[in-house]
Amino acid sequence: MNYQFVWDIEGTPQAEFEMGFELFTQWFCDEIGTDTAKIAELQTLISQLQEGAILEHTIKGNTLTMILNHDEIEITADSLEADIPDEMPEGTEISDDGCVSGCGLADFVSVLDSWEAFVG
């Protein structure tokens, strides 16, 4: 997973992730931002997962949902669930391209630590 952190023209930190991980861009920019309490909360949850104190945890953001377990992180766009009708024609396939992103827990820890250092 390739990414970079930059400051925009207004002095706001921006995360830019490669294609396939776009929801991480949105998570870091919109859901976490510079909120050190949210960063600390995530770090605490990750520690609990790594220690086996919890098996899984779901964080409902403004437009995204993050599911963490001891192996991986998955981010889902809430619009994915909202846009699916109850009944669909037989044979219809739904593409979730751009609506789901995930990575290993160790990779996420590295990115989160880098984000904390960047915005700190």
What is the C-alpha separation between 25 and 28, in angstroms, rounded?
A: 5
What is the C-alpha separation between 85 and 30, in angstroms, rounded?
A: 27
Q: How confident is the model at residue 90 (pLDDT cuts 50, 70, 90)?
A: low
Spell out the domain ranges in the chain: 3-82+99-119
Q: Give 65's strand partners.
A: 60, 76
User: How confident is the model over 20-70, as pLDDT tens digits?
Assistant: 999 999 999 999 999 999 999 999 999 999 999 999 999 999 999 999 999
Predicted TM-score (pTM) of this structure: 0.82
What is the C-alpha separation between 120 and 110, in angstroms, rounded?
A: 15
What is the C-alpha separation between 82 and 76, in angstroms, rounded?
A: 12
- Residue 51, helix vs strand vs coil: helix
